[in-house]
Amino acid sequence: MLELDLILLPFLDNIYPSLEQADKERYWKLLECEDQDMFAWLLHRQDPEDPQLQRIVHIVRENTGKAP
């Protein structure tokens, strides 16, 4: 989904390298989710039920659009 790419690719370039290993693993777990779920989560329409996914979704939300 193009909209997810516009959120996740800058995050991957700018924020991901500085994450702790556990958060990097949460990010990869997030990528295994359905696109429609991720889209709803990242646009604050819903929150994931899984606390691990909640954490990485929060990190992505807080850092969307930020450059290093």
pLDDT recorded at residue 32: 97
Contact status, residue 60 vs residue 8, Cβ threshold 8 Å: yes
Q: Where are the alpha helices (DSSP H) in 1-68?
A: 2-14, 21-31, 35-42, 51-63
**CATH of region 2-63, choose from 3.40.50.2300, 1.20.190.20, 3.20.20.100, 1.10.150.250:** 1.10.150.250
Global pTM reads 0.89
Residue 2 to residues 9, 11, 18, 35, 44, Cα–Cα distance (Å): 10, 14, 24, 10, 18
Cα(25)–Cα(22) distance, integer angstroms:
5
Split at pLDDT 50, 70, 90, the class of 66 is low
pLDDT recorded at residue 65: 61
pLDDT in tens, 28-49: 999 999 999 999 999 999 999 9
pLDDT recorded at residue 21: 98
Cα(1)–Cα(6) distance, integer angstroms:
9
